[in-house]
Amino acid sequence: MEEVIEQLRELNEPVPVPLELPDEELLVEIEEQMLINLPFELREFLLKVSDVVYGRLEPVTATDPQSHTYLPEVAAVAWDLGVPRDLVPLCQDGRNYYLVDGEGEVLLWDGDEGELTDESWDTVWHWARDVWLAD
């Protein structure tokens, strides 16, 4: 995990208005708004690297309600499209969604088929290394 965080920090692209990292209090507010507990690893991801801008994928963020990556908004849209309500979006990729289950495993939901695929990653950090950093 530390290695992935370090790599993301090194690759973080400068942007005109940098993102901010959330605090625990804000994540609790988001959980209350979404009516779901955030999986531990997703919380950790949001707290440590949700301010990183890198490549074409844009994982969810938690500090700016106006952002197209704002977690409650991304989740509401995903759930409306048929994503199972117990899965929390990590990243939207076109019509597809990378989702985190209660155990912290990342699953891929195919937006064209409207169902989960067989692709999965053991943790959010494995996904960040194998998908986000490799993209």
DSSP states of 34-71 = HTSPPPHHHHHHHHHHTT---SS-EE-BSS-TTSTTBH
Query: Which tens digits make up the pLDDT trace of 107-124?
Result: 999 999 999 999 999 999
Cα 32 to Cα 17: distance, rounded to the nearest angstrom: 27
> Looking at per-residue confidence, does 23 or 135 come out higher?
23
Report if pTM > 0.75: yes
Q: Round the average pLDDT of the chain to a whole number and report it.
A: 97
Query: Which tens digits make up the pLDDT trace of 69-99?
Result: 999 999 999 999 999 999 999 999 999 999 9
- Is the pLDDT at 54 greater than 90? The verdict is yes
Place of tokens 């949001």: 46
Topology of 2-132 in CATH? SMI1/KNR4-like (3.40.1580)
Query: What are the residue ranges spanned by the domains of the chain?
Result: 2-132
- Average pLDDT estimate for 16-26: 94
- Is the pLDDT at 135 greater than 90? The verdict is no
- Is the pLDDT at 66 greater than 90? The verdict is yes
Q: Which of 46, 83, 42, 82 is nearest to 64 (CA)?
A: 46
In this structure, which long-range contacts are made by residues 25-30, counting pairs with CB atoms below 8 Å and at least 24 apart in sequence?
A: 26/62, 26/63, 27/62, 30/62, 30/71, 30/72
